């Protein structure tokens, strides 16, 4: 069976990871976990981009060899992914031998078929973005993307014949309307291609920290050319071991690197005669307390500063709830606290705690009663909307729908008032609580991709002993599946502690 192949960008290791990197990686993790719950075989790849001038300069500034720097910094990314409960199946580093070999083979293939030629590059280069620019593209003489100073490059270079694929790219976008996502960003790419593609410089003569081109060891591969190939290396290219992985189903990228993935990357794959990814999804950017996060301002939000107070799941939840995937948003401590308190502590956490407390107090922890099922009957309809939102990578919508299930269930308890009802009609009170139990069980499955450890805790507190991930898909379809009114609940601790 072909695996669902999902990737994040490979991150530069000139600096430690921040909340922007965590965002893309968590989003890919959520989709991977959701797909696995649906019974799909997933290959989730992330990694680090370790060559190029930017890294070489960072190493020099710290008195380190580039290799020592990349080893140290790449480890910080993998450590953070472990802390954030990221379930990646692969982690690729572009300094690994397997990648160096793949890049060499790709140069070989492209040379052989005449898609690479030697020329001379004369224009501008932004080290921070590792991007080439024409004079006419500069904004007030600076990089049009990051606004930083650019440097004049005049050197011999190998070029990839990207221009040759202009027409094919436009046809490809038209025939594959799901390739460029979200749709609102597609037109910008189409217009750019229509305005005329130039060939791309894919080697550097002066930059030594890179993969040597086998055909001309004086040159190293341009870091973006090297980086995009990571997706092929990880899939086992060209040995054939990755046949059940290729092509990628979805690449998650930030909007600033959409063009590389939407134009250069498919053109490279056309040239290699390889199948193209099904979707490239470009999400938006976070600012921090209203300001662009930048090194000069030193205002990068470090996930490690958030986790002690809000927990891994609090951070995962907030990032995907606050800003619709695809648009920009602001990371502020006040909105983090507000959402955490309102949606996790007061809504979901409260639903769990009041349900379990009432069962413990009035039924000695075992209800022995089946629910009547008024609210439960509506869950399959909600599941349809959840699935539809997942298909569009609309994570904030998924969370909104699930939040409304929680709110409705809390309202249901308020109306039934089992704490009073138990005095006049104990069975009716028990049946209402059974309804809440069944819904909480469904919610533990539905929220699991976002908050895996909290959902496991909910699951255990409900007294469930089966494996959550194996049971989830059945329960989501049929909330009563495997539900036993005789189950003893195991209330323990507060799930989301309200923040003052
Ligand atoms: N190395 C390249 C990518 C090569 S992929 C073949 C690169 N690396 S990066 O370290 O700069 O990471 C950029 C990515 O990190 C963005 O595309 C996005 O996924 C994530 N983000 C970094 N800052 C971000 C925000 N402020 N907001 C949201 N995501 C951001 O580019």
What CATH number should be reported for the domain holding residue 364? Answer: 1.10.730.10
Closest CA to 204 of 161, 157, 151, 159: 157
Shortest-distance atom of ligand 1 to CA 285? 27
pLDDT at residue 373, rounded to an integer? 87
Cβ atoms within 10 Å, residue 97:
7
Contact 59, 68 (CB under 8 A): yes
Residue 25 Cα to ligand 1 middle (Å): 10
Instruction: Tell me how far apart the alpha carbons of residues 440 and 350 are, in angstroms, rounded to a whole number.
Output: 11
Residue 318 Cα to ligand 1 middle (Å): 19
Residue to probe by mutation, ligand 1, list 8, 9, 46, 302, most atoms within 8 Å of CB = 9
**403: three-class secondary structure by DSSP:** helix
Cβ atoms within 10 Å, residue 400:
16
Shortest-distance atom of ligand 1 to CA 13? 10
Residue to probe by mutation, ligand 1, list 254, 255, 268, 295, most atoms within 8 Å of CB = 254
pLDDT at residue 263, rounded to an integer? 98
Contact 115, 72 (CB under 8 A): no
Contact 198, 159 (CB under 8 A): no
pLDDT at residue 407, rounded to an integer? 98
Residue 118 lies in a domain: no
Instruction: Tell me how far apart the alpha carbons of residues 107 and 14 are, in angstroms, rounded to a whole number.
Output: 26
Classify residue 418 by its DSSP letter.
Answer: H
Q: Which residues contact 360 (CB under 8 A, 6 or more apart)?
A: 489, 491
Instruction: Tell me how far apart the alpha carbons of residues 163 and 200 are, in angstroms, rounded to a whole number.
Output: 8
pLDDT at residue 346, rounded to an integer? 98
Residue 432 lies in a domain: yes
Angle at alpha carbon of residue 229, lines to 278 and 25, rounded to 5°: 65
pLDDT at residue 296, rounded to an integer? 78
Judged on CB neighbours under 10 Å (0-12, 13-18, 19+), 459 is buried
Q: Whose CA is nearest to atom 29 of ligand 1?
A: 20
Instruction: Tell me how far apart the alpha carbons of residues 107 and 113 are, in angstroms, rounded to a whole number.
Output: 10
Structural domain that includes position 463: 333-477
Residue 112 Cα to ligand 1 middle (Å): 33
Shortest-distance atom of ligand 1 to CA 12? 10
Residue 163 Cα to ligand 1 middle (Å): 26
Rg of the chain over Cα atoms, rounded to whole angstroms, equals 26
Residue 238, preceding peptide bond in cis (omega within 30° of 0): yes
Residue 11 Cα to ligand 1 middle (Å): 6
Q: First-to-last CA distance in the chain? A: 50
pLDDT at residue 241, rounded to an integer? 61
Residue 67, preceding peptide bond in cis (omega within 30° of 0): no
Cβ atoms within 10 Å, residue 186:
18
Contact 131, 125 (CB under 8 A): yes
Cβ atoms within 10 Å, residue 301:
22
The tens place of each residue's pLDDT in the chain, 500 residues long, gives 899 999 999 999 998 999 999 999 999 999 999 999 999 999 999 999 999 999 999 999 999 999 999 999 999 999 999 999 999 999 999 999 999 999 999 999 999 999 999 999 999 999 999 999 999 999 999 999 889 999 999 999 999 999 999 999 999 999 999 999 999 999 999 999 999 999 999 999 989 999 999 999 999 999 999 999 999 999 999 876 666 999 999 999 999 999 999 999 999 999 999 999 999 999 999 999 999 998 778 899 999 999 999 999 999 999 999 999 999 999 999 999 999 999 999 999 999 999 999 999 999 999 999 998 889 999 999 999 999 999 999 999 999 999 999 999 999 999 999 999 999 999 999 999 999 999 999 999 999 999 999 999 999 999 999 999 999 999 999 999 999 999 999 999 899 999 99
Strands (E), 302-353: 329-331
- Count of structural domains within the chain: 1
C-alpha distances out from residue 494 to 291, 311, 339, Å: 35, 13, 17
Residue 205 lies in a domain: no
Residue 401 lies in a domain: yes
Classify residue 142 by its DSSP letter.
Answer: B
Residue 270 lies in a domain: no
What region, left, alpha or beta, does residue 360 occupy, with left being phi > 0 and alpha being psi -120 to 50 degrees?
Answer: alpha
Residue 194 lies in a domain: no
Q: Whose CA is nearest to atom 17 of ligand 1?
A: 254
Residue to probe by mutation, ligand 1, list 7, 8, 11, most atoms within 8 Å of CB = 11
Pairing mode, strands 42-49 and 4-12: parallel
Strands (E), 77-115: 90-93
- CA quadruple 210, 214, 219, 222: dihedral positive or negative? negative
Spell out which residues line ligand 1, taking CB within 6 angstroms. Answer: 9-12, 20-21, 23-24, 49, 227-228, 230, 253-254, 256-257, 285-286, 293
Where helices occur in 425-467 by DSSP H, the ranges are 426-447, 452-461
Residue 13 lies in a domain: no
Closest CA to 226 of 271, 169, 268: 268
Residue 162 Cα to ligand 1 middle (Å): 24
Instruction: Tell me how far apart the alpha carbons of residues 253 and 28 are, in angstroms, rounded to a whole number.
Output: 10
Q: Whose CA is nearest to atom 21 of ligand 1?
A: 20
Instruction: Tell me how far apart the alpha carbons of residues 129 and 143 are, in angstroms, rounded to a whole number.
Output: 8
């Amino acid at each position: 069976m072909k695996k669902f192949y999902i990737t994040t960008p490979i991150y530069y290791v000139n600096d430690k990871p921040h909340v922007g990197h965590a965002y893309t990686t968590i989003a890919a993790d959520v989709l991977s976990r959701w797909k696995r719950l649906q019974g799909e075989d997933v290959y989730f790849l992330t990694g680090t981009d370790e060559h190029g001038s930017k890294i070489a300069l960072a190493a020099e500034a710290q008195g380190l060899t580039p290799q020592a720097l990349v080893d140290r910094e790449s480890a910080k990314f993998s450590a953070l992914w472990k802390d954030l409960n990221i379930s990646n199946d692969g982690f690729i580093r572009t300094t690994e031998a397997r990648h160096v070999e793949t890049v060499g083979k790709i140069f070989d293939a492209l040379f052989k078929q005449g898609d690479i030629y030697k020329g001379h590059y004369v224009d501008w280069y932004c080290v921070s973005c590792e991007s080439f620019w024409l004079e006419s593209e500069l904004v007030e003489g600076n990089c049009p993307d990051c606004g930083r100073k650019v440097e004049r490059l005049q050197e011999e270079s190998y070029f990839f014949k990207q221009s040759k694929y202009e027409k094919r790219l436009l046809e490809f976008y038209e025939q594959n309307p799901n390739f460029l996502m979200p749709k609102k960003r597609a037109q910008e790419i189409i217009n750019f291609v229509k305005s005329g593609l130039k060939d791309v410089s894919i080697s550097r003569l002066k930059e030594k920290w890179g993969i040597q081109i086998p055909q001309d060891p004086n040159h190293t591969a341009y870091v973006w050319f090297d980086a995009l190939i990571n997706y092929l290396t990880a899939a086992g290219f060209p040995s054939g071991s990755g046949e059940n992985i290729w092509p990628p189903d979805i690449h998650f990228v930030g909007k600033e690197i959409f063009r590389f993935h939407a134009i250069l990357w498919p053109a490279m794959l056309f040239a290699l005669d390889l199948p193209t990814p099904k979707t490239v999804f470009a999400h938006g950017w976070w600012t921090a307390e209203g300001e662009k996060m930048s090194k000069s301002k030193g205002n990068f939000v470090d996930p490690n500063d958030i986790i002690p107070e809000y927990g891994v799941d609090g951070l995962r939840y907030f990032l995907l709830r606050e800003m619709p995937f695809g648009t920009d948003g602001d990371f502020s401590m006040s909105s983090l606290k507000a959402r955490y308190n309102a949606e996790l502590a007061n809504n979901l956490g409260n639903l769990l705690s009041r349900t379990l407390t009432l069962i413990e107090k009035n039924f000695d922890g075992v209800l022995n009663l089946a629910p009547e099922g008024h609210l439960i009957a509506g869950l399959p309809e909600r599941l349809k909307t959840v699935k539809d939102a997942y298909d569009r990578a609309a994570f904030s919508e998924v969370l909104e729908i699930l939040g409304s299930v929680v709110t409705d269930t809390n309202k249901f308890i308020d109306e039934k008032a089992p704490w009073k009802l138990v005095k006049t009609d104990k069975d009716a009170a028990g049946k209402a609580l059974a309804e809440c139990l069944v819904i909480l069980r469904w919610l533990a499955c539905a929220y699991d991709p976002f908050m895996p450890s909290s959902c496991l805790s909910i699951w255990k507190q409900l007294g469930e002993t089966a494996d959550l991930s194996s049971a989830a898909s059945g329960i989501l379809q049929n909330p009563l599946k495997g539900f036993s009114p005789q189950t003893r609940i195991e209330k323990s601790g507060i799930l989301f502690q309200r923040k003052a």
